[in-house]
Amino acid sequence: MRRLLPLLPTRHGSRSRMTCLYRCANQCDHPVPNQTSNPYFGDIVRSALSRRALLKGGTGGAIALGLSGLSGTAMAAPGHGETPHHEGRGPHQGRGVDRLDWTPVAPNTEDAVVVPDGFEQAIVVSWGDPVLPGAPEFDFDHQTAEAQEQQYGYNCDFLAILPLKGDRALLVSNHEYCSEQLMFRDWVDHESATEEQLRVSMAAHGLSVVEIERVGRSGQWRLVRKGRRTYNRRITATTPFEVRGPAAGSELLRTEADPEGRTVLGTFNNCAGGTTPWGTTLHGEENIHGYFGASGPIDEAHLESFARYGLPTEPAVGRNWMKVDERFDLSKHPNEAYRHGWIVELDPYDPNSRPRKHTMLGRFKHEGATTRITSDRRIVVYMGDDERFEYIYKFVSRDRYRPGDRKRNSDLLDHGTLYVARFTGDGSNDGEYDGTGEWIPLTSDKESYVEGMSVAEVLVHTRLAADKAGATKMDRPEDVEVNPKTGKVYASCTNNSERTEDQVDEANPRPSNRHGHVVELEEDGNDGAATSFRWRLLLVCGDPEDPETYFGGFDKSKVSPISCPDNIAFDGSGNLWLATDGNALGSNDGLFALPVSGPERGYVKQFLTVPIGAETCGPVISSDQRTVFVAVQHPGEVDGASPDDPASVWPFGDQPRPSVACAWRA
């Protein structure tokens, strides 16, 4: 039986081998799942920029003509990331972070959260903090699954801040994955892990809802530790979920334990997410493939789909969760894999509600889900499939949003149409945009538009359906967000190291897109329900001294170096904030901000850096613009690190603990 998670995976980009192992089961060590002949976005970019250069007499597009392997698109929900104003205090009176008047943080490798002069930072909540009534204090050397189910989970990612009365708010977090090598002193590998270690890991995945409070009159926030904590909740890999939408109850989702195909246990590898106008949160299940193993052969009927999603197609161990729960053994329960990889919806205001998995939004490796309201008040959800050469999707609801009708609005994601994006290089005549694109319908809740596939098959095997539709291959399309000021959509594409030496030419001098880029997209009529759009590159990331980079046309001698954009967000002034994952320029990862319009469009400034081995996730700017929240994921995740020899001691000077931090003006 092969290990799906080998002990010494190959290192890719600037990520540690440990990160590749635990986060995504070394998906870069395996052949790219998408082997179709669909067009690459990088080829479309070259065509578009060559045309622009001709239109402008050899200028304008030349900066980016050296790009290789590009892709991307983005978007955000109304009310996304709001925190309550203190009653009677009024606005921030010019002290907001959205002014972007701070001096950028220099690239560094410090084991700390480093913020600009004039700012302070603090921890809001950390892995292991007690969050449920009666939960025990964290004890690194005596962890149990029972305790972890009541404590804040591991490797926080997506964050949402939802308002409560006064100076309190709800912090909702994803817990993407576990780095067990840093969690347990006696850890060897998943194959030899004890059942209790595996159960602790399962309990440390999922979601957390915790109450937080403002500290005095400052911009600092902290975990509420005393008194009533009505809303606090933990969702883990064993929490029951309701399956919703057209695929619910289909043959593909039925198992021995759930013959109706309507109740699934657990969520895991939740990456980014979003909020809805009716006050719930959305959470993307991403790299679910590494959690499944197989004790024997796989039924041939599942091989094509399993291969397309990176799931085991032969005996494998994976994370070995099948050791404690047989449903993760695909040779015995192959349909269990189809019950994960969805968008999850949670109602943080109702701790007794059952979370949902929405099949109408498609099944793939979801980075996140960002909502907007159309001109006729329907709901749009933008989503990226975070893997090399995968696609960008959106869903448009059939029914209309009704403010205040929370019960009815909760059904909006069950009916509508799922689309996938196709990009072309035929830009507008004035050269303002690099190209155009269309949204190709895959299925409605009643009718499939993909030949030979039913509605349920399109939703369960969405990648295969998008392959047939001729979607455009992208370079790890991550977060997709909407600018609340302009309605334009922005997508971050982290990187793609798969472009080979034989694809290099004068126009494409580097064999891989190591540093990523950001695409700006405008829907026709600025309406999310449109079926066509225009697009252009906003950023081509990397060292500003590299002639291949591009910063929205801004003077590159003044910008901060940036590499591998991942999660993105907007502040109240419409500035774009980018978190990085796997900085390939030698510095710790960080959070950056830039205007997307006006004379300083493209002026990238670094706001903070995170500790050694960490990734910056889940940025949220408070609604009063006074506080920046970030999830500091996997600190100390460096090759060779262990509890007895940690690479980072952030945040408390002993073992590294993933945490949510906040920064504010002093």
- Is residue 40 in some structural domain? yes
CB-neighbour burial class of residue 32 (10 A; exposed 0-12, middle 13-18, buried 19+): middle
- Choose between 400 and 84: higher pLDDT: 400
Average of pLDDT values for 349-371?
Answer: 97
Structure tokens at 505: 């030419």
More confident site: 507 or 48: 48
DSSP state of 99: G
The CA distance from 363 to 518, in Å, is 24
Q: How far apart are CA 478 and CA 30, in angstroms?
A: 20
Alpha-carbon distance of 184 to 415, in angstroms, equals: 45
Residue 142 lies in a domain: no
Contacts of 187 (CB under 8 A, 6+ apart): 180, 181, 193, 197, 642
On the question of pLDDT at 391 being above 90, the answer is: yes
Express each pLDDT in 299-351 by its tens digit. Answer: 999 999 999 999 999 999 999 999 999 999 999 999 999 999 999 999 999 99
Q: Is pLDDT of 10 > 70? A: no
53-to-387, 404, 599 alpha-carbon distances in Å: 31, 50, 22
Residue 15 — pLDDT band, cuts 50, 70, 90?
A: low
pLDDT (0 to 100) of residue 498: 62
Give me the pLDDT at residue 51, please.
Answer: 52
Total of domains in the chain: 1
Separation in Å, CA 469 to CA 117, 436, 455: 51, 17, 14
Does residue 409 carry a pLDDT above 70? yes
Task: Give the pLDDT of residue 199.
Answer: 98
Residue 467 lies in a domain: yes
**pLDDT at residue 91 greater than cutoff 50:** no
Average pLDDT, the chain: 88
Q: Can you tell me the mean pLDDT for 350-369? A: 97
Which residues does residue 402 pair with via DSSP β-bridges, in sequence order? none
In a domain, 99, yes or no: yes
Q: Residues in the chain, how many? A: 666
How would residue 101 be classed by pLDDT, with cut points 50, 70 and 90?
very high
Q: What is the pLDDT of residue 636?
A: 98
pLDDT of amino acid 273: 97
Q: Kindly state the DSSP code that residue 148 receives in the 8-state scheme.
A: H
Rounded to whole angstroms, the Cα distance separating 301 from 550 reads 47
Percent of the chain with pLDDT over 90: 77
505: confidence class by pLDDT, cuts 50, 70, 90: very low
Mean pLDDT of 621-634: 97
Residue 228 lies in a domain: yes
Cα dihedral across residues 336, 341, 343, 347: positive or negative: positive
Range of the domain at 438: 17-135+158-665
SS3 category, 459: helix
- CA trace torsion 131, 132, 134, 135 (10° rounding): -50
Predicted structure pTM score: 0.90
Please check whether residue 5 lies inside any domain of the structure: no
103 belongs to a structural domain = yes
- pLDDT at position 25: 64
Closest CA to 464 of 605, 456, 430: 456
Share of the chain above pLDDT 70, in %: 85
A 10 A CB-CB count for 599 gives 7
Residue 645 in tokens: 């020899």
Output Rg (C-alpha) for the chain, integer angstroms: 23
Q: How confident is the model at residue 512 (pLDDT cuts 50, 70, 90)?
A: low
- Is it the case that residue 16 has pLDDT exceeding 80? no
Domain annotation covers residue 11: no
Q: How many CB atoms lie within 10 A of CB 466?
A: 31
Give me the mean pLDDT over the 62-84 stretch: 34
Report whether pLDDT(617) > 50: yes
- Lowest mean per-residue pLDDT among 55-64, 133-142, 263-272: 55-64
- Between 19 and 501, the more confident residue is 19
pLDDT exceeds cutoff 80 at 579? yes
515 Cβ contact list (under 8 Å, min separation 6): 495, 540, 541, 542, 549, 562, 563, 564, 584, 585
- Assign 3-class secondary structure to 195-259: HHHHHHHHHHCEEEEEEEEECCCCCCEEECCCCCCCCCEEECCCCEEEEECCCCCCHHHCCCCCC
